[in-house]
Amino acid sequence: MVAHARRLQARVLPQGWLDGLRQLSLFLAAYFGYRLVRGLVEGRATAAFQHARELISIERTLHLFVEPSVQAWASGSHVVMVVTSWLYVNAQTSITTFNFAGARACTAVQPPRARATQPCPLASAQ
């Protein structure tokens, strides 16, 4: 039983617990850094609305302002509304977590030499 646990640990954490904790701390630091920056700029709504008005003005000048017609089309379909609402809520967290887990899984199964020459398809966006 102990030997099986050690083999599993060696496969999941090839560079030890310290490396796993380091990667988790980097993930959490990035997440909390994002939350901190978001909190710092949250109070600047006036500037954000002014930038949005300028962007809409540019889009109207170039005849590219299609958002109202796209929203009217999407609002008419319950399926489109449900799918886009689900994507809006879940995509960022799910994709970030999947990439973290996939990159971790790839580094756990590839030997150190192969990591430099053979990129893992889950961890690579190429």
Q: How confident is the model at residue 94 (pLDDT cuts 50, 70, 90)?
A: confident
For residues 1 and 61, membership in a common domain is answered with yes
Question: pLDDT, tens digit, for every residue of 24-67?
Answer: 888 899 889 988 888 777 777 788 889 999 999 999 999 999 99
For residues 109 and 61, membership in a common domain is answered with no
Q: Which domain holds residue 107?
A: 66-126
CA distance 51 to 65: 15
Report the predicted TM-score, pTM, of the whole model to 2 decimal places. 0.39
Specify the pLDDT at position 125: 46
For residues 94 and 49, membership in a common domain is answered with no
Residue the block writes with tokens 């962007």: 55
Instruction: Using the 3D structure, point to which of 65, 89, 106 is the last residue of a domain.
Output: 65
Cβ atoms of 110 and 120 within 8 Å: the answer is yes
For residues 104 and 114, membership in a common domain is answered with yes
- What residues contact 75, with CB distance under 8 A and at least 6 apart? 81
For residues 52 and 75, membership in a common domain is answered with no
| Percent over 90 (pLDDT), the chain | 21
Instruction: Using the 3D structure, point to which of 22, 47, 65 is the last residue of a domain.
Output: 65
Specify the pLDDT at position 126: 41
Residue 22's identity, in one-letter code, is R
Q: How confident is the model at residue 69 (pLDDT cuts 50, 70, 90)?
A: very high
For residues 47 and 105, membership in a common domain is answered with no
Residue 76: pLDDT over 80: yes
Specify the pLDDT at position 58: 96
For residues 46 and 93, membership in a common domain is answered with no
Specify the pLDDT at position 108: 57
For residues 50 and 102, membership in a common domain is answered with no
Cβ atoms of 11 and 108 within 8 Å: the answer is yes
